[in-house]
Structure 1
Amino acid sequence: MLPNFGSPPPPFRKCPSGAGRTNRASAVARTSAPETRRGRAPSSGDAKMQRGPRGCRDRDGPAGGAGKMRPELLPRRERSASPHLSSVPLQMLFCLSGTYYALYFLATLLMITYKSQVFSCPHHYLVLDLALLFLMGILEAVRLYLGTRGNLTEAERPLAASLVLTAGTTLLSAYFLLWQTLVLWADWALSATLLALHGLEAVLQVVAIAAFTR
């Protein structure tokens, strides 16, 4: 008979709790994996979360702050907008000419009244001067309106019409400078200044029309 060394060791059995933990961990890993493993594209929310900081840098600048947007991110309307062609000096000259002509009209009207009372001039000549002055006032108002409209809207037709009226008012300015019934030194100074303004306006109008028609 063999000697008895003791009872045999108990058989080893696997713990069911460990297997359950392993299975649950693998299931959680499979469910938490991104959907791209199963062939699905990531949702828009996931994509925004992934590229959020990078998109901010692209739009706002390297620091994510108040930087300039890249040209390719600007709206198409802003990229394709043409530069403004309106002439700022011409617009300022229109305003100056309108203000000066209001003073010119009042001063010339007062001087015609003064000439009729002080000097022995034929009244029909003074009536002609007065009629030409009012005609010049009407032409000047229409000229300034068409010139301002054509310059601001970048339209060459109203500006061309204003240029034609500028030529007409220039001739009337030359009449009051040289050929009216009685020319005083005040008439000469006022008419010479108005003639210079009209000449400068005509030059700028030609330049603006050439820029609009390109």
Structure 2
Amino acid sequence: MNVSLTFEVLLYLNSYYFGLFAVCELGMNAVKYINFDNLHHFSTDFGVLLSICFIEILRVILARRGNLTEKKWPVILGILLTIPSVLGVVYLMIWQSEILRFEYIICAMQLGFCIAEIVTGVLCLFSCCQTPDYY
């Protein structure tokens, strides 16, 4: 099994899933702002969501470009950018002021994608860093 192909498929699926995730999160934040009166940290929650959007877009672009060109530094940066993305999703999943059940489910799915991409990204790095054997 080609690890680079698995990593590329996960990045491709995550690029579409993250678009859905971001739209749903923005919609749920709008609903929370309208319906809940005592949101203590709404600006913090919204700022975390916007930063996750920026980091995730940058991460997917870097990792896909590095994977397709088989260069290790963009893949390493993509894996390192997964850490703040995971922390932001955990914030939205656990520490946000008001958490909806649907929000918890989509955050758990996003975490699953991120963990799978970390594992396959590290395995992809091992295959990219090997010296080719010429016979």
TM-score (norm 1): 0.58
The amino acid across from 2:114 in the alignment is: H
Deviation at 1:132, TM superposition (A): 0.9
C-alpha distance in 1 between matches for 2:15 and 2:88 = 16
Q: Residue 202 of structure 1 corresponds to which residue in structure 2? A: 118
Q: Superposition pairs for residues 58-73 of structure 1, below 5 Å?
A: none
Which protein shows a greater Rg?
Answer: 1
The answer on whether the counterparts of 2:66 and 2:73 sit within 8 Å (CA) in structure 1 is: yes
Q: What is the RMSD computed on CA atoms of the aligned residues?
A: 1.3
SS in 2 for 1:182: coil
Structure 1 residue 108 corresponds to structure 2 residue 108: no
Q: Which has the higher helix share?
A: 2
Unaligned runs of 5+ in 2: 131-135
Q: Superposition pairs for residues 87-106 of structure 1, below 5 Å?
A: 87-106=4-23
SS in 2 for 1:87: helix
Structure 1 residue 146 corresponds to structure 2 residue 62: yes
The answer on whether the counterparts of 1:104 and 1:190 sit within 8 Å (CA) in structure 2 is: yes
C-alpha distance in 1 between matches for 2:7 and 2:88 = 21
Q: Please give the per-residue CA displacement for 1:140-165, whole angstroms capped at 9, x wherever unaligned.
A: 11101110011011111110000000
Q: Superposition pairs for residues 1-214 of structure 1, below 5 Å?
A: 87-122=4-39, 125-214=41-130
Structure 1 runs, 4 residues or longer, greater than 2 Å off: none
User: Higher relative CO (CA 8 A, sep ≥ 6), structure 1 or 2?
Assistant: 2
Unaligned runs of 5+ in 1: 1-84
Identity of aligned residues (%): 26
